[in-house]
Amino acid sequence: MYRTHTCGELRMNHLNKETTLAGWVQTIRKFGSITFIDLRDRYGITQLLLNEKLTEQLDNTPLGREFVITVKGKVSERSNKNINIPTGDIEILVSEFKVLNKSAVPPFTIQDDTDGGEDIRMKYRFLDLRRNAVKKNIELRYAVNRAARNYLHQQNFIDIETPFLIKSTPEGARDFVVPSRMNSGEFYALPQSPQTFKQLLMVSGYDRYYQIVKCFRDEDLRADRQPEFTQIDCEMSFVDQEDILQMFEGMIKSIFKEVKNIDYAETVQRMSWEDAMWNYGNDKPDIRFDLKIANLKVEGKNHFEGLDHSEFAVFNNAETILAISIPGCSDYSRKQTDELIEWVKRPQIGMGGLAFIKYNTDGTLKSSFDKFFNADQLKSFAEFCKANPGDLILILAGREERTRKAISDLRLYMADRLGLRKADEFRLLWVTDFPLFEYDEEGNRWVARHHPFTSPKPEDIEVMIGNNPLIENAEKYLEHPYSKIKANAYDMVLNGNEIGGGSIRIFQRELQEKMFAALGMSKEESQHKFGFLLGAFEYGAPPHGGIAFGFDRLCAILGGSESIRDFIAFPKNNSGRDVMIDAPSTIDEKQLAELQIKLDLK
Amino acid sequence: MYRTHTCGELRMNHLNKETTLAGWVQTIRKFGSITFIDLRDRYGITQLLLNEKLTEQLDNTPLGREFVITVKGKVSERSNKNINIPTGDIEILVSEFKVLNKSAVPPFTIQDDTDGGEDIRMKYRFLDLRRNAVKKNIELRYAVNRAARNYLHQQNFIDIETPFLIKSTPEGARDFVVPSRMNSGEFYALPQSPQTFKQLLMVSGYDRYYQIVKCFRDEDLRADRQPEFTQIDCEMSFVDQEDILQMFEGMIKSIFKEVKNIDYAETVQRMSWEDAMWNYGNDKPDIRFDLKIANLKVEGKNHFEGLDHSEFAVFNNAETILAISIPGCSDYSRKQTDELIEWVKRPQIGMGGLAFIKYNTDGTLKSSFDKFFNADQLKSFAEFCKANPGDLILILAGREERTRKAISDLRLYMADRLGLRKADEFRLLWVTDFPLFEYDEEGNRWVARHHPFTSPKPEDIEVMIGNNPLIENAEKYLEHPYSKIKANAYDMVLNGNEIGGGSIRIFQRELQEKMFAALGMSKEESQHKFGFLLGAFEYGAPPHGGIAFGFDRLCAILGGSESIRDFIAFPKNNSGRDVMIDAPSTIDEKQLAELQIKLDLK
């Protein structure tokens, strides 16, 4: 019997109770002849009081931080109460204690504000996980897991495990592969998602499927990507898009309620992909704040008439001119506007410069291009931008794609400066009507924007079937009819992050075959890769659709963090390494020989 | 809107309601000018009645089995009620219907008693999954999953995901490995279990961890093994064996209750490994029935004194003689006893023969070795075997190991013949005090019977540390002190199947190092493979222990089946192939080149 209670449990109503606790030594404070120890476990901290005799014993065999001990004693009222912790009213008058295990001095302090850098904390992740800050994240993750399962269970979803050793069908991202010893020369692949299996389950009649499941992508890792990540993966039959949007905004609201005690009563806003790009320059706009884009000139066409007779070459030569009005910033100093100019010139943003108009609170206007625009012209400029006195209007001009991305980034940057991106405010958004195809410059071909199983909008099916996917003039790919085809696809966006995405699927063999052809796949290739799915579609496939949520990201945002790594118990670094266990690593010749492969290092 | 109700939902209280259903055509029965269709979905079957006009429409565009349709109509009382299905009181008077998708004729019938063989059902697993028999298994699996999670949640366990891309540390079974593109020449391994990670979580202070998680073993597959399988994986800190046994018999009882509505009120029986081997010849005895072994002679030593002066060479030459008394079988015919003799001679059993005594209901005894034993001697033989009149005593003689295994197999075989192994009766058993080591004949060395992290019994630690693991005389390995060391390890057995196994772990670096040494691992090797765990043990590792349940097996037994494959949505065959998706398969040269490996086929 190591303990009768936990370190987070004892209160005034336990006074005089004999108790046994076990845990880690958080701090040791000697006061004259007595000693106070804060004992920590998963549930909290309890103060221990060691009398003179035990303190003497300590002098002979000293305890250290992170030693594991078990103590017996009586619950007693503290003279000096600590209102900051739930057990702060009591302490344990220790009658005996025993060291269960010693601890070396940890390489960083086990505290909320640790002195450990990222690298050392990852190497000693088992110690980092002891810190309250990290523990909270892991507990939040479990709460989200539990809330999602509860909601889906109530909605008649069934958790069905799909296999991890599947077939390599690289489409977009690279597969991790697993050599098969029993089938030499052949490989399994680890799933990038259970996509085809969940569709097969729909063909099987399990009309509401879910799984919280690991997925794998062998991609060059950006700062906040992991080679293995977790999805809440769902699929439903006999549904249209509306059914799915309602079901899953219900799930997220239910998670908000269970995990954060937030009543998200509002209807979740919806926005077409085109509107999102037009107004926010981005397919996952953060709508906690407004700051919409003014589209002054787009792809060579002036929308703001005031540009028609301008003599400002920068504007006249630009393909696209976009602006945002930033409230309360008309009094920015030269230093501040220079800062913004430097910011947009950084390579990550890559703009040549930034023009601006200060719409002063007295109604006057002052721009960085006064030479070319008189007061009236500036006034109508500001009106087009829906600016108000007190606003600073920031204007970017350049090539359409880069300028739109830049204004979107600038919008987020200004919102950060203004404190508009509050970690504890949550705004959901559905972005719908995505393009079905995306232009792949390298291959000069169309690739699936979501994946090849996504259904085109019914009215666009004819456009897809009736036109040759071949792009004759790479420069003018936007004129190809495929660029206009919309998909029955939707993303859920939370605070400017895509937390989930899905689509209504193709469920007819003929249409699926045409989709594969549109993506430049030969009949042989599509049969080799997806023959099982095409085959299944011949035996009564129901209409179906689904969605997958990025579980790590969802947890991070709910936890008020930008980094998913903090919400994964044992994450990998940017090189895909687990530095704690030192994986990946070499394997021995015998293993390679059994697998009938050898290294072929360049 | 594809449906307003499911096919399992409508009852008499829905009479005259307008409804829309969607599902699969189970059967079509034309009666004169009208047509009955059984429409099936996940929730049940509802009868549709198509009037003359719609029946005419059908004649032009016929429906077939497994077509997917949606129908509108009114709920109506059936004249000819079907008491076998919950919707049997009503039918739908169809006003319109629409084919959502056609179906080719399935390669086997989608019915409980299908005409499809195993191979064809695996190839078309998406159709097999439609059959009620399979669907029930998948639903039961989800129910077990849910019940386990609910129990563990109530007990303060927290689900923490451990990584799938880990380090290869083959111990016993082979790892599946995953070449790393970003770290060329290096490999990840897929986990055989999250063992070391859950121990690290204990070091981190998460004192009650669980996960329902996929694990991987690249082994030559026996009939009922899968390369990927699922475990309910649990670990606890500050516990001894008793805490764990109580916690997890609680879990299984809770699963019994939630899933099968069985109140398993009895205390779960416990048995030491030695007793299990002695009385049942097996470390996972089926205790739904008794039929204990009589140990007449063991390893050359007569326990039944009546053998001392026998002149029966078969007995005298045998190392071991074991018997079981089978009630009610004393009247077995010559043909029947011959059958049993043939059975024990099969290569899987491998005995030379079978002796028997018929203890007739009139009290007389008749044996197959009457020449050597007179009536009195037979009587005391029967007494030693605790036989009663009416019993057939079956006796096997031979080498200890083989004979014990054979009598154990014979015991199960006889129980099957007598109908004593009822699929709907559940008997749990803890087997405890397993040997710590197992003799590895090939390497003439000791291997860990459970795994190298299992703690020896405290009283055996000195035996382990104080003796050289080297086995000088392979013949006499049983005389080596290691053969007697017991582990703090336990298995949970259900109806003769090991459904879970675990142990109290080593949590001190020194002892863990000695264990690695006892297993013949060099310091370098243990540091290379498990340095992270040894390191973690230096920073305040708490006493801990855990258990892992074979989730597939548990579900199969609860479903009354011997085969785990029926309880896995997409299982692999005995060659580790998924014949539906045709995996594993070759991958292209580009993938191999990126991974910097090449094939090296023998």
User: A120, A165, A592: best mutation site toward chain B, by most B Cβ within 10 Å?
Assistant: A165
Residues of B in contact with A125 (CB under 8 A): 200
Give the three-class secondary structure for B541: coil
Q: Which residue stretches of B234-312 are H helix? A: 241-260, 273-280
Tokens matching residue A485: 């085809």
Inter-chain touch B167–A508, beta carbons under 8 Å: no
pLDDT in tens, B10-26: 999 999 999 999 999 99
- The CA distance from A130 to the nearest CA of chain B, in Å, is 5
Nearest CA in chain B to A601: B596
Contact A599 B595 (CB under 8 A): no
- Whether omega for the bond prior to residue A62 falls within 30 degrees of 0, making it cis, is no
B-chain residues near A197 (CB < 8 A): 569-570
What is the DSSP code string of A473-495?
A: -GGGGGGSGGGG-BBSEEEEEET
- Chain B residues inside the 8 Å CB shell of A599: 185, 596-597
Query: Are residues B538 and A103, on separate chains, in Cβ contact within 8 Å?
Result: yes
More confident call, B422 vs A172: B422
> Considering CB atoms only, which of B139, B596, B599 is closest to A601?
B596
In one letter, which amino acid is A584?
A: P
Interface residue of B2, B157, B188 to substitute, partner A, most A CBs within 10 Å: B188
Longest Cα–Cα distance of chain A, Å, equals: 93
Contact predicate B443/B434, CB 8 Å: no
Residues of B in contact with A1 (CB under 8 A): 240
Nearest to B491 by CA among B199, B248, B290: B248
User: What is residue B115's predicted lDDT score, i.e. its pLDDT?
Assistant: 78
Query: Regarding predicted confidence, which is higher, B1 or B154?
Result: B154
Contact assignment for B166 to A583 by CB distance below 8 Å = yes
- Comparing B478 with A253, the larger pLDDT belongs to A253
What does chain A come to in residues?
602
SS3 call for A159:
strand
Q: What is the largest CA-CA distance in chain B?
A: 93
Residue B221 pLDDT class (50, 70, 90 cuts): confident
Q: Distance (Å) from the C-alpha of residue A206 to the closest C-alpha of chain B?
A: 6
Residue A143 predicted with pLDDT over 90: yes
ipTM for this model:
0.95
User: Distance between CA atoms of B244 and B544, rounded to whole angstroms?
Assistant: 10
> Which residues face A557 on adjacent strands?
none
Q: Residue A116's CB: how many other CB atoms inside 10 A?
A: 19
Interface mutation target, options A539, A567, A574, chain B, most CBs of B under 10 Å: A539
Segment (H or E) for A274? helix A273-280
**Closest residue of chain A to B534, computed from CA coordinates:** A581
- Is pLDDT above 90 for B297? yes
Angle between helix A400-417 and A273-280 (nearest 10): 70
How distant is the Cα of B438 from the closest Cα of chain A, in angstroms?
23
The alpha-carbon gap from B177 to the nearest alpha carbon of chain A, in Å, equals: 6
Supply φ then ψ for residue A587, to 5 degrees: -120, 165
Number of C-alpha atoms within 13 angstroms, CB side, residue B105?
A: 0
Decide if B176 and A177 are in contact by the 8 Å CB cutoff.
no
Which residues on chain A are in Cβ contact (under 8 Å) with B221? 182
A 10 A CB-CB count for B4 gives 14
Contacts of A191 (CB under 8 A, 6+ apart): A162, A163, A164, A166, A197, A215, A216
pLDDT band at B556 (very low <50, low <70, confident <90, very high): very high
Which of these, A321, A466, A295, lies nearest to A403 by C-alpha position? Answer: A321
Q: Which residue, chain included where needed, has tokens 């996972």?
A: B284
Look at residue A115 in the predicted model and tell me its pLDDT.
78
- From chain A, the residues in CB contact with B218 under 8 A are 181-182
- In this model, does residue A172 exceed pLDDT 80? no
Rounded Cα–Cα distance for residues A44 and A88 (Å): 10
Number of CB pairs < 8 Å for A and B? 343
B601 neighbourhood in chain A, CB within 8 Å = 184-185, 596
Helix (H, G, I), strand (E, B) or coil at B435: strand
pLDDT for A212-233, tens place per residue? Answer: 999 999 988 777 889 999 999 9
Q: Is the pLDDT of residue A60 over 90?
A: no
Smallest CA–CA separation between B126 and chain A, in Å?
5
First to last CA, chain B: 58
Closest-CA distance, B324 to chain A, in angstroms, reads: 41
Which pLDDT belongs to residue A569? 98
Query: B189 and A583 in contact by Cβ < 8 A?
Result: yes
Q: What is the pLDDT of residue B385?
A: 97
Residues in chain A with CB shorter than 8 Å from the CB of B576 are 165, 180, 182-183
- Provide the pLDDT confidence category of residue B141 given band limits of 50, 70 and 90: very high
Compute the average pLDDT of residues B454-476.
91
Which tokens is B373 given?
């034993």
How far does A202 lie from chain B, in Å, by closest CA? 9
Each residue of B26-61: pLDDT tens digit? 999 999 999 999 999 999 999 999 999 999 999 888
E strand residue ranges, B373-448: 392-398, 428-432, 437-440, 445-448
pLDDT bracket for residue B173 (50, 70, 90): confident
pLDDT for residue A503 is more than 90: yes
Closest CA to B234 of B162, B177, B301, B286: B162
B2: left (phi over 0), alpha (psi -120 to 50) or beta: alpha
Q: Least CA distance to A244: which residue of chain B? A: B1
Report CB contact under 8 Å: B205, A159. no
Residue-wise pLDDT for A371-395, tens only, equals: 999 999 999 999 999 999 999 999 9
Cβ-based contacts of A126 with chain B (< 8 Å): 200-201, 203-204, 536, 539
The token duo for B127 is 């159709």
**Tokens 């007595």 -> residue:** A34
| Helix, strand, coil in percent for chain B, rounding step 5 | 30, 25, 40
Which alpha helices (DSSP H) does A291-386 contain, by range? Answer: 313-317, 334-345, 375-384
Binned at pLDDT 50, 70 and 90, residue B521 comes out as: very high
Residue B143: count of CB within 10 angstroms of its CB: 17
Q: Tell me what pLDDT residue A117 has.
A: 86
Q: For B256-280, how does the pLDDT look when each residue is reduced to its tens digit (9 = 90+)?
A: 999 999 999 999 999 999 999 999 9
The DSSP code for B602 is -
Q: What is the Cα A170 distance to its own chain's centre?
A: 23
Question: Using CB atoms, which residue from A508, A584, A593 is nearest to B183?
Answer: A584
Confidence (pLDDT) at A309: 86
pLDDT in tens, A455-483: 999 999 999 999 999 888 888 888 899 99
Q: Are the CB atoms for B450 and B489 separated by under 8 Å?
A: yes
Q: Which of A41, A158, A183 sits opposite B584 (nearest CB)?
A: A183
Among A387, A335, A397, A334, CA closest to A361: A387
- Residue B408: phi and psi, rounded to 5, are -65, -45
CB contact under 8 A, B581 and A201: no
Residue B361 pLDDT greater than 90, yes or no: yes
Neighbours of A31 (CB within 10 A): 9
Domains assigned to chain B? 12-101 (2.40.50.140), 289-421 (3.30.1360.30), 435-486+508-541 (no CATH)
Residue A114: the pLDDT is 77
CA distance B43 to A430: 31
pLDDT at A281: 96
pLDDT at B441: 87
Chain A residues with CB under 8 Å of B187 CB are 584-587
The residue of A564, A585, A590, A602 whose CB has the most chain B CBs within 10 angstroms, and thus the best one to mutate to test that interface, is A585
The sign of the dihedral angle between the CA atoms of B547, B552, B556, B558 is: positive
Looking at the complex, report in whole angstroms how far the Cα of residue B80 sits from the nearest Cα belonging to chain A.
Answer: 28
Q: Tell me which of B125, B126, B132, B152 to substitute to probe the interface with A (most A C-beta atoms closer than 10 Å).
A: B126
Residues of chain B with C-beta less than 8 angstroms from the C-beta of A240? 1-2
Q: Which of B178, B203, B215, B552 to mutate to test the interface with A (most CBs of A within 10 A)?
A: B178
Q: Are A555 and A566 spatial neighbours (Cβ–Cβ below 8 Å)? A: no
- Buried b vs exposed e over A471-504: b needs ≥16 C-beta within 10 Å? beeeeebeebebbebbbbbbbbbbbbebbbbbbb
For the cut 80, the answer to whether the pLDDT of residue B296 exceeds it is: yes
Contact A540 B103 (CB under 8 A): yes
What is the Cα–Cα distance from B266 to B253, expressed in whole angstroms?
A: 10
Contacts of A575 in chain B (CB under 8 A): 182-183
Instruction: Give residue A287's pLDDT.
Output: 97
Residue B79 is classified by DSSP as: S
Residues B454, B446: contact at Cβ < 8 Å?
no
The beta-carbon neighbor of A142 closest among B159, B175, B201 is B159
**What integer is the mean pLDDT of B246-251?**
98
What is the residue-averaged pLDDT of chain A?
Answer: 95
B70, B101, B152, B192: best to mutate for the A interface, most A CBs within 10 A: B101
> Of the candidates B104, B124, B582, which has its C-beta nearest A167's C-beta?
B582
A131: nearest CA partner in chain B: B204
Is the predicted pLDDT of residue B116 greater than 90, yes or no?
Answer: no
- How close B519 comes to chain A (CA, Å)? 19
